Structure 1
Amino acid sequence: MSDSPASAGFPRRRLLTGTAGLALLLAGCTSGGSGAAAEETTAAQEDRLTAQVPVQEAVVAAYDAALAADPALGGTVPDLPGQAREQLERLRAAAPGATASSSSVPPGPPAGTDVRAWLRDQVSAAATAHAAACVEASGAGAALLGSLAAGLRGHAAALA
């Protein structure tokens, strides 16, 4: 029998192709806004990214402080500090107006605390901040912030 449920009616592939074509058509029709509006959006996007640079700087500083407090920690998560630095560089590249800041750098883990747990808390807080900023961003900025948030969630899981 050649009349299977999959071949009866409107094929899914044709529906998806039509939907994608319609989305492209709509995007083409609505993307021609004024130059001033596009510049305003770009400036707001850069501001959102710039605001997240100190958050990521704090993550890098937290790794440095944690490794200074517990050098053995570096052997258990050797790639994470370098990844945090790479994330910071990507963020700085996307926010060219950003300058180095020391205002949000954590002082280091308090004496007698679990350094790994302290670091995990710092990383989790930064992931939450990036995720919140991602919701307000768009396009490449949203993708970058979402990537940073997801990456830091992976760091937090590795530190658990």
Structure 2
Amino acid sequence: MMPPTALPGPRTFTRRTLLAVSAAGFAVAVAGCTSSSGDEAEAVTSEQADDLAGQVAVQETLVAAYDLAFGADPALAAAAADLATQAGEQLDLLKAAAPGKHTAGRPPADTPPAGSAQQWLRAQVATAAASHAAACLDQAGARAALLGSIAAGLRGHEARLA
């Protein structure tokens, strides 16, 4: 008779799981999983277009914040380079989704204080995530899903930078 095997412990919720779920949600939204017609769901009001362009600027500011923090702390740059890459990819997705011209985002108003670039960057990430989450409420369809997905991904960045 074989001895009973131990049951595996509970699974943990990892950043990879969060990103996979976010990507899956975005894929479903992009596939057109809505109850209204495509034209109606994808019609963009001028206010929505302006709001989305504003979120492009928010993401540009975040990408600049990663650069500033990495310049101030090379160890952080080595440890979190993949997060900066993801932020840049998210920026590209936002630019593709935003109709019309985009205003350039401004670099963060302050710079990382000596010795605490990681905490400073985490605050910048939290601000961008909150902005995207709030903006997705005023969007529709794939644009709302994109902003929600980016906000969720940035919350993962924030947790990793903790």
Normalising by structure 2, what TM-score? Answer: 0.70
Matched position secondary structure for 1:72: helix
The counterpart of 2:131, out of the listed 123, 129, 132, is: 129
Give the RMSD, CA atoms, in angstroms: 2.4
Which structure is larger by alpha-carbon Rg, 1 or 2?
1
The whole-number CA distance in structure 2 between the counterparts of 1:135 and 1:72 is 37
Partner of 1:101: 104
The counterpart of 1:92, out of the listed 84, 88, 95, is: 95
Q: Do the aligned partners of 2:57 and 2:105 also contact (CA within 8 Å) in 1? A: yes
Deviation at 1:42, TM superposition (A): 1.2
Partner of 1:54: 57
Normalising by structure 1, what TM-score? Answer: 0.70
Q: How many residues align?
A: 127
- After superposition, give the CA deviation of every residue in 1:55-86 in whole Å (9 maximum; x if it has no partner): 00011000000001111101211200100000
Q: Residue type matched to 1:148 in 2?
A: I
After TM superposition, the runs of 4+ consecutive aligned structure 1 residues lying more than 6 A away are none
The whole-number CA distance in structure 2 between the counterparts of 1:82 and 1:40 is 28
Q: Do the aligned partners of 1:66 and 1:108 also contact (CA within 8 Å) in 2? A: no
Gaps of 5+ in 2: 1-34
Q: Do the aligned partners of 1:62 and 1:108 also contact (CA within 8 Å) in 2? A: no
Higher RCO, 1 vs 2 (CA within 8 Å, ≥6 residues apart)? 2
Quickly say closer, same or farther: Cα 1:138–1:39, change in 2 above 3 A. closer
Deviation at 1:119, TM superposition (A): 0.1
